[in-house]
Amino acid sequence: MPFAPPVEALNHGHPTLWGNLGDWSQTSEYVEAARALARRLGDAAGLGPGHRMVDLGSGAGDQLRMWVESFDVEHVTAVELDPGLARRAVERTTAWGLDSHIDIVVGDAATARWTDTAVDRVVALDSAYFFQSRESFVRRCHSALKPEGILAVTDLLLGEGVPARVAGALAPFFGISRGDFLTEHRYRALLAENGFHRIHVHDCTDEVLGGFSRWIRSGGHRLEGARALKTRMGLSMTAWAAWFLARPTGVRYVVTTACRRSP
């Protein structure tokens, strides 16, 4: 089963359907944090007017609207594994009048047909660590990008201590392939070996994992009633795991950019 974030619970009381972990450096409200993390990734990617891009793991559409309206990109090919989220993204982008700028493909980022022409940017917001093969993902991004095009992702990396070994053991319970949970050294090497240079890895563990954990543990999601019990439990497990593992020797949350080398 594809992983789908509990968007209604996370966005409770708001018309948005964000599903990322959020950048909590300037806010204590989920919707603002989720929007801030998307903007942070868009800034890191250098999105701008005229760009054609691919968004892998595009969710229910909020980030797609940001790419077009806030960054003025020309066209987005959005790939979403979960059919329900993809359907909602189609409905919402049409309602926003953005369907001429956005094409939504339902499928796995590793196997779906993204685009027939090379693009300026490929982004993955809180989705790369769920892909089955990191190497296949990197190769496909390289083949999709124009020379000097940019790959920008948020990702999880392993440290070198005991918490990292615990994280590796727990990874499959959170839908993450244990074999693709990499250290920064191996992560950089994988990108370089597959045709990327100008690799930047920015650690924002406390702003993202720490902030999300604090929000959930403080009851910020405001879920009530018996029907919400499963969602509450899932969010709480994620929050406590993030709290325990998010340290230099455990799991690091990073924003990574890499540029495809020219031939």
Region at 105 (left for phi over 0; alpha for psi -120 to 50; beta for the rest): beta
Location of structure tokens 């455990």 = 250
Distance of CA 110 to the CA centre of its chain: 15
Over the stretch 75-98, which tens digit does the pLDDT of each residue have? 999 999 999 999 999 999 999 999
Buried/exposed code over 32-57 (b: 16+ C-beta within 10 A; e: otherwise): bbbbbbbbbbbebbebeeebbbbbbb
Q: Is the pLDDT assigned to residue 166 strictly greater than 90?
A: no
CATH architecture of 7-260: 3-Layer(aba) Sandwich (3.40)
Question: Tens of pLDDT along 27-74?
Answer: 999 999 999 999 999 999 999 999 999 999 999 999 999 999 999 999
Q: What is the pTM of this model?
A: 0.88
In degrees, to the nearest 5, what angle opens at C-alpha 238 toward C-alphas 236 and 243?
Answer: 95
pLDDT band at 114 (very low <50, low <70, confident <90, very high): confident
What span, in angstroms and rounded, lies between the C-alpha atoms of 136 and 117?
Answer: 19
The SS3 call for residue 139 is helix
Q: Is the pLDDT of residue 229 over 70?
A: no
**Mean pLDDT rounded to a whole number for the chain:** 85
